[in-house]
């Protein structure tokens, strides 16, 4: 049975409605049976928005071999194993752009990445595809290639990731943008405050990554912050819940996608939707950041 009302309010990605606390697949872990259990539990708790990518996670179990998969495609394959046939309201969001060599795909290479996501997820179309840019002054050519795949029916909606405000404008001149996925958190990537406001004004979802890990990024875990820790103690909740509640407080268009391989942490994250922070608590939990938006 799926639990409702535990993940806060909803927002729309185009014509798709999602709960504001979703799930990020990057930290599913390397035990496929446990990952299957965790994904199914996430859906039971009300998750209907899963964020993934063809390269999640790079540290997966090399022995995993469903559909001749490789560790590179492990997260997509385990999502398929756990949840296919997919619930009607489940929205899968993936990303394209980065290559296995660490660079950025050419526009003419993006179709192959989209088709690989279709294959590994077992879908005939992708709900949302984010262009994960890196080092581009203009995303027009790359985003235009994805817009053509959208027109061809392979993609339903488009977004951009690791982007700046000018990238959003460039993309919007080509096709609708339903979400922007950038680093953001209480004390990390706060120069994206401007882009958060722009997205809110235009009804575009803003989806933070590294919201829990902060400067730890790939190391995972929950970043330390004395103000966050003090507020968590005062509220009798976890620091992760305070960080997620802060994200949700920034506007109705912010969607949280905390990732974990731990069932207890999963339940803890989902419960953050019931925490309301007042303005004084919010100001005390933040200390700004000095990092440039985009190109993380």
Nearest by Cα to 92 from 101, 102, 100, 82: 82
Any alpha helices (H) in the chain, and if so which ranges? 32-44, 74-83, 110-121, 140-151, 165-172, 193-202, 226-235, 239-249, 263-270, 279-285
Question: How does the average pLDDT of the chain come out, rounded?
Answer: 87
User: What is the structure's pLDDT at 186?
Assistant: 87
User: What is the structure's pLDDT at 242?
Assistant: 94
Q: Give, in degrees to the nearest 5, the angle at Cα 196 between 157 and 277.
A: 115
pLDDT band with cut points at 50, 70 and 90 for residue 294: low
Rg (CA), the chain: 18
User: What element of type H or E holds 91?
Assistant: strand 91-96
Q: Among the listed ranges 42-51, 81-90, 92-101, which one has the minimum average pLDDT value?
A: 92-101
pLDDT in tens, 56-67: 865 544 444 444
Beta pairing partners, 159? 130, 179
Q: Flag whether pLDDT at 127 surpasses 50.
A: yes
What value does the mean pLDDT take over residues 186-199?
89
Q: Among the listed ranges 3-12, 16-25, 118-127, 158-167, which one has the minimum average pLDDT value?
A: 3-12
Which domains, ranges and CATH numbers included, belong to the chain?
17-285 (3.20.20.100)
Among all residues, which ones are annotated catalytic?
Answer: 56
Q: Is 177 exposed, middle or buried (0-12, 13-18, 19+ CB in 10 A)?
A: buried
What value does the mean pLDDT take over residues 33-42?
96
Q: Are 168 and 198 in contact (CB under 8 A)?
A: yes
Beta pairing partners, 208? 182
pLDDT in tens, 239-251: 999 999 999 999 9
User: What is the structure's pLDDT at 288?
Assistant: 42
| CA atoms lying within 13 Å on the CB side of residue 266 | 23
Q: Flag whether pLDDT at 100 surpasses 90.
A: no
pLDDT band with cut points at 50, 70 and 90 for residue 6: very low
pLDDT band with cut points at 50, 70 and 90 for residue 291: very low
């Amino acid at each position: 049975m799926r639990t409702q009302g535990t993940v806060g309010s909803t927002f729309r990605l185009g014509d798709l409605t999602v709960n504001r606390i979703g799930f990020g697949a990057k930290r599913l872990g390397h035990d496929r049976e446990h990952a299957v259990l965790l994904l199914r539990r996430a859906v039971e708790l009300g998750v209907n928005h899963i964020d993934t990518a063809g390269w999640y996670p790079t540290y997966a179990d090399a022995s995993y071999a469903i559909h001749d998969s490789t560790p590179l495609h492990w997260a997509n394959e385990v999502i398929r194993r756990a949840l296919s046939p997919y619930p009607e309201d489940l929205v899968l969001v993936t990303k394209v752009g980065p290559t296995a060599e660490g660079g950025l795909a050419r526009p003419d290479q993006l179709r192959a990445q989209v088709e690989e996501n279709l294959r590994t997820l077992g879908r005939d179309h992708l709900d949302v595809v984010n262009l994960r840019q890196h080092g581009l002054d203009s995303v027009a050519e790359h985003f235009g290639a994805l817009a053509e795949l959208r027109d061809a029916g392979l993609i339903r909606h488009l977004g951009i990731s690791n982007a700046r405000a000018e990238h959003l404008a460039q993309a919007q001149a080509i096709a609708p943008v339903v979400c922007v996925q950038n680093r953001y958190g209480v004390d990390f990537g706060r120069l994206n405050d401007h882009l958060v406001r722009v997205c809110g004004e235009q009804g575009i979802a803003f989806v933070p990554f590294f919201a829990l890990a902060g400067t730890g990024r790939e190391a995972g875990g929950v970043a330390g912050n004395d103000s966050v820790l003090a507020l968590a103690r005062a509220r009798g909740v976890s620091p992760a819940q305070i960080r997620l509640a802060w994200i949700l407080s920034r506007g109705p268009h912010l969607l949280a996608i905390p990732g974990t391989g731990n069932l207890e942490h999963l339940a803890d994250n989902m419960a953050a939707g019931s925490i309301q922070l007042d303005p004084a608590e919010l100001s005390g939990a933040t200390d700004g950041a000095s990092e440039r938006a985009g190109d993380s």
